[in-house]
């Protein structure tokens, strides 16, 4: 069975000192949690310090983005190998904020996913529709296009290092979460697509996180759904008590 995976996406928040304070609390409070994998995604500047702090714990560290080249004249970019060097095991790719605000496309997402996997990182590839797309009935088409760009044609043997995060854009940071039934419907569709594209074994192994206003009071219902294998948590990951409650809810 798939081990649930809960990741806190800290976005553009927290200094190094604040990051260390938060992750130390998480490390202490989650020390006894079993059967749930937990990760944090601090800003680039705090990755190395946080990775060192969690070295002796099961917590894993993710970056929020990367580039697809390993070195060269690419001012401002960070390579997958550099993320590994800083202590990251995972990287989030194709978050809707990057797609909407920073020109990320299905093509660049695909290049980043392949480069990150090639460097030995695990990848959390984000997919999800806007409200307009949901309203005009194109949710499945949009999600399939995102999936094809991110993981189409991938070697199924990499499934253990691939996570899909379904994050409906209309639910991110809005306090408006998908209902468990709405989320499960899309998650089942994603798993069926993975089965057709990468084969049954990969589809059964790949974890599909839900993201979008996951909070302590809605996490348990969402995570109870059969195809929801964890959560990508934004706002509620910035306070230890809330994030810990969500991680515990993943276990039930």
> What is the C-alpha to C-alpha distance for residues 227 and 213, in angstroms, rounded to an integer?
18
Is 189 one of the catalytic residues?
no
The verdict on 232 binding ligand PGA (CB under 6 A) reads: yes
Is 167 one of the catalytic residues?
yes
> What is the C-alpha to C-alpha distance for residues 94 and 144, in angstroms, rounded to an integer?
14
Please report how close the Cβ of residue 125 comes to ligand PGA at its closest, in angstroms: 12
Query: Which residues make beta-bridge pairs with 41?
Result: 9
Please report how close the Cβ of residue 11 comes to ligand PGA at its closest, in angstroms: 7
Q: Which of residues 132-171 bind ligand PGA (CB under 6 A)?
A: 167
Please report how close the Cβ of residue 113 comes to ligand PGA at its closest, in angstroms: 17
Q: Which of residues 112-131 bind ligand PGA (CB under 6 A)?
A: none
Quick one: 171 or 198, whose CB is closer to ligand PGA?
171
Which residue's structure tokens are 């190395």?
48
For residues 155, 161, 162 and 167, what is the CA-based torsion angle, rounded to 10 degrees?
Answer: -170
Per rule CB under 6 A, count of chain residues that contact ligand PGA: 13
Among 63, 146, 234, 250, binds ligand PGA (CB under 6 A): 234
Among 183, 219, 233, 249, binds ligand PGA (CB under 6 A): 233
Closest CA to 166 of 139, 202, 204, 133: 139
Residues in the chain: 252
Joined tokens for residue 37: 């994998």
101: Cβ contacts below 8 Å, ≥ 6 apart: none
> What is the C-alpha to C-alpha distance for residues 136 and 91, in angstroms, rounded to an integer?
32
> What is the C-alpha to C-alpha distance for residues 139 and 133, in angstroms, rounded to an integer?
6
Instruction: From the candidates 104, 146, 167, 187, give the one annotated as an active-site residue.
Output: 167
249: Cβ contacts below 8 Å, ≥ 6 apart: 216, 219, 220, 223
Contacting range for ligand PGA; rule: CB under 6 A; set: 32-40, 105-113, 179-187, 228-236: 228-236
The verdict on 172 binding ligand PGA (CB under 6 A) reads: yes
Tell me the per-residue interface mask from 3 to 32 with ligand PGA, x by CB under 6 A, - otherwise. Answer: ------x-----------------------
Please report how close the Cβ of residue 75 comes to ligand PGA at its closest, in angstroms: 27
Among 212, 223, 228, 229, binds ligand PGA (CB under 6 A): 212
Please report how close the Cβ of residue 234 comes to ligand PGA at its closest, in angstroms: 2
The verdict on 64 binding ligand PGA (CB under 6 A) reads: no
Task: Map residue 72 onto helix, strand or coil.
Answer: coil
> What is the C-alpha to C-alpha distance for residues 34 and 58, in angstroms, rounded to an integer?
10
Provide the annotated active-site residues: 95, 167
Chain residues binding ligand PGA by CB under 6 A are 9, 167, 172-173, 211-214, 232-236
């Amino acid at each position: 069975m798939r081990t649930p995976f809960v990741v806190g996406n800290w976005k553009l928040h927290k200094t190094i000192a604040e990051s260390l304070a938060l992750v130390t609390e998480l490390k202490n409070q989650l020390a006894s949690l079993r059967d749930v994998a937990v990760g944090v995604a601090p800003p680039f500047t705090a990755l190395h310090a946080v990775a060192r702090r969690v070295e002796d714990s099961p917590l894993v560290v993710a970056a929020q983005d990367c580039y697809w080249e390993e070195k060269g004249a690419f001012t401002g970019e960070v390579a997958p190998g550099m993320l590994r060097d800083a202590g990251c095991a995972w990287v989030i790719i194709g978050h809707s904020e990057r797609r909407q605000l920073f020109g990320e496309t299905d093509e660049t997402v695909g290049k980043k996913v392949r480069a990150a996997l090639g460097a030995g990182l695990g990848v959390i590839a984000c997919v999800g529709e806007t409200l307009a797309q949901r309203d005009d009935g194109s949710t499945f088409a949009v999600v399939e296009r995102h999936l094809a760009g991110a993981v189409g044609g991938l070697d199924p043997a990499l499934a253990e290092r691939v996570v899909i995060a379904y994050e409906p854009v209309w639910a991110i940071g809005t306090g408006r979460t998908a209902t468990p039934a709405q989320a499960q419907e899309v998650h089942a569709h994603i798993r069926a697509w993975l089965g057709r594209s990468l084969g049954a074994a990969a589809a059964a192994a790949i974890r599909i996180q839900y993201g979008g206003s996951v909070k302590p009071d809605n996490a348990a219902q969402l995570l109870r759904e059969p195809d929801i294998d964890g959560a990508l948590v934004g706002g509620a990951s910035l306070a230890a008590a809330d994030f810990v409650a969500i991680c515990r809810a993943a276990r039930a």
